[in-house]
A = this chain, B = another copy of it.
Amino acid sequence: MSGQWSQRLAALGIELPAVVKPVGSYVPALRVGDLVYTSGQLPVVAGELAFTGKVAEGAEGLVSPEQANAAARLCALNALAAVHAEVGIDSVVRVVKVVGFVASAPGFTGQPGVINGASDLIGEVFGDAGVHARSAVGVAALPLGAPVEVEIIVQVN
């Protein structure tokens, strides 16, 4: 099974990005025993947030649920990059837990659909080994004005 996730990523045409530099006094991911905890990951691409603002249904100037879903996918991609930098992506045995925070405008309750952007990427890459427990919550604000933040816990060998 050596190299299976690297191969799957390549087959899917997904390239893990460079690890996003932490915006504070911490590291992107850390192993303890057979678990790797990632830090909360933002939808950063090439050093810049790809989306900013709160998420709302059909409101001018805010992030749409579809955009937020794409943002959550970017967060998950950055989380996998952090795992890869810490232990190598091929060490992953399974994805255990995903927590997704969605900066939500008043009245927006579609957090699960947003965080599916992260869960679905994980499912594409890891298949059955990607099936995880998850919490999705709507928060007041996220670092740098990001619409979504995702942290994951994975089991590794």
Give chain A's interface residue range (CB within 8 Å of chain B).
35 or more
Contact (Cβ within 8 A) A137 B101 = yes
Given contacts A24-B116, A98-B26, are A139 and B139 in contact (CB under 8 A)? yes
Contact (Cβ within 8 A) A139 B142 = no
A9 to chain B, nearest CB (A): 19
Contact (Cβ within 8 A) B139 A137 = yes
Q: List 30 A-B contacts (CB under 8 A).
A: A22-B134, A24-B113, A26-B98, A26-B134, A27-B131, A29-B133, A30-B132, A30-B133, A32-B96, A33-B34, A33-B155, A37-B96, A37-B133, A38-B133, A39-B133, A40-B134, A40-B137, A101-B135, A103-B140, A104-B140, A106-B141, A109-B145, A109-B146, A111-B142, A133-B151, A136-B143, A137-B141, A137-B149, A138-B139, A138-B143
